[in-house]
């Protein structure tokens, strides 16, 4: 059983409504748009980040968003600025490799080392689309199912508004 299959089994076992679509492996937003077909909802971009004090963050936003790391650093209270986490840290903390980064990977962060930060746009969409630990699939979660996933994993997300220059809530 692949990590992706295990995640999908976890969702099913926990009554988390999800619909998964198979497609060729995608490595960029442009490839995803071209190969995934028409899947309704917001498609995500995921950034695994760390600050100067080696605190880890998973920032999830709309696939078309432009992210200013300095602005995001201020919004989330990162210490010493943000940079991308290394592939080794990604594997150690979230159990995945680059290309498969997804909000669903927090299921692997049993120690709670990663602070989950979501763009407020995710709270305003009908469905959130993300990779289920594989870039050959897209899983669509209705808003209620996404909230259920966060609750089941014992995680709270900090929401930030990229278009507003104020602090998170």
Q: What is the pLDDT of residues 85-108, one digit of tens each?
A: 999 999 999 999 888 899 999 999
pLDDT above 90 (res 1):
no
Q: How does residue 36 score in pLDDT terms, banded at 50, 70 and 90?
A: low
Distance CA 134, CA 148 (A): 21
Helical (H) or strand (E) element with 12? helix 3-13
| DSSP one-letter string for 91-156 | HHHHS--TT---GGGGGG-TT--EEEEEEGGGGGSSEEEE-SSSTTEEEEEEHHHHHHHHHHTT--
**pLDDT bracket for residue 48 (50, 70, 90):** very high
- How large a percentage of the chain has pLDDT more than 90? 67
Q: Which CATH superfamily is domain 3-160 in?
A: YbaK/aminoacyl-tRNA synthetase-associated domain (3.90.960.10)
**CA–CA distances in Å: residue 18 to residues 79, 83, 119, 121, 138:** 36, 32, 21, 19, 10
| H or E stretch at 139 | strand 137-142
DSSP output for 44-63? EEEEEEEETT--EEEEEEET
Q: Is the pLDDT of residue 130 over 80?
A: yes
Does the pLDDT of residue 83 top 60, yes or no?
yes
Check pLDDT > 90 for residue 114: yes
Which of 35-39, 60-64, 126-130, 159-163 has the lowest average pLDDT?
A: 35-39
Rounded Cα gap, residues 135 and 98, in angstroms:
10
Over the stretch 23-33, which tens digit does the pLDDT of each residue have?
Answer: 878 777 777 77
Average pLDDT over residues 58-77: 92
């Amino acid at each position: 059983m692949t990590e992706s299959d295990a995640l999908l089994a976890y969702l099913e076992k926990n009554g988390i409504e999800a619909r998964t679509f198979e497609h060729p492996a995608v490595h960029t937003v442009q490839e995803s748009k071209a190969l995934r077909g028409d899947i309704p909802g917001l498609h995500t971009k995921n950034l695994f980040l760390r600050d100067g004090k080696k605190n880890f963050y998973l920032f999830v936003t709309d696939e078309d968003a432009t992210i200013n790391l300095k602005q995001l650093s201020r919004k989330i209270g990162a210490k010493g600025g943000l940079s991308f986490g290394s592939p080794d840290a990604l594997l150690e903390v979230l159990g995945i490799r680059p290309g498969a980064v997804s909000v669903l990977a927090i299921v692997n962060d049993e120690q709670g080392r990663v602070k989950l930060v979501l763009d407020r746009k995710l709270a305003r969409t009908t469905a959130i689309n993300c990779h289920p630990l594989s870039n050959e699939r897209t899983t669509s979660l209705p808003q209620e199912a996404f909230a259920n996933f966060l609750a089941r994993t014992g995680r709270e997300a900090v929401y930030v508004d990229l278009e507003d220059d104020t602090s998170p809530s």
